Amino acid sequence: MTSARTYQGGTDITRFDYTFDANGYNIARQKLDHRPSDPCNIFSYDDLDRLLSAQYGVDESNEVFTIDDLGNRSKVNLRDTADVNYVIDNLTNRYPLDCSGHRRSRGGSTG
């Protein structure tokens, strides 16, 4: 799929056009044709297809993701504001879970 549309009464309500990266798996660019000025969201990935950054054309903000040596997301900078550090259990190499299997904590904001 390279585009998705929603119609109402024969009129485009939403239209998204997608461009994929070189391996064809990840969305590299998302164009929002239904918005004024047709803003684009641009995504970048590392060699293992993990999301590293997202640039949002609607409000011109960015998110940057940090991956540790074991492949865990360790930090994210949310839309050019605060950093959120993820807490990872060093024994299990997983995010801590509560007794219901829900992630307990993603860490705290800095900045």
Using one digit for the tens of pLDDT, what is the confidence trace for 76-95? 888 777 888 877 766 665 66
* pTM (predicted TM-score): 0.65
Residue with token string 């190499």: 93
Instruction: Label residue 73 by pLDDT band (50, 70, 90).
Output: confident
103 pLDDT more than 60: no
Q: How many CA atoms lie within 13 A of 36 on its CB side?
A: 1
Residue 20 DSSP SS3? strand
* Region of residue 79 (left: phi > 0; alpha: psi -120 to 50; beta: else): left
- Could you tell me the residue ranges of all domains in the chain? 1-59, 62-111
Of 54, 58, 31, the residue nearest 44 (C-alpha): 54
Residue 16 DSSP SS3? strand
Using one digit for the tens of pLDDT, what is the confidence trace for 2-48? 878 787 887 777 777 888 888 887 887 877 766 666 778 888 888 88
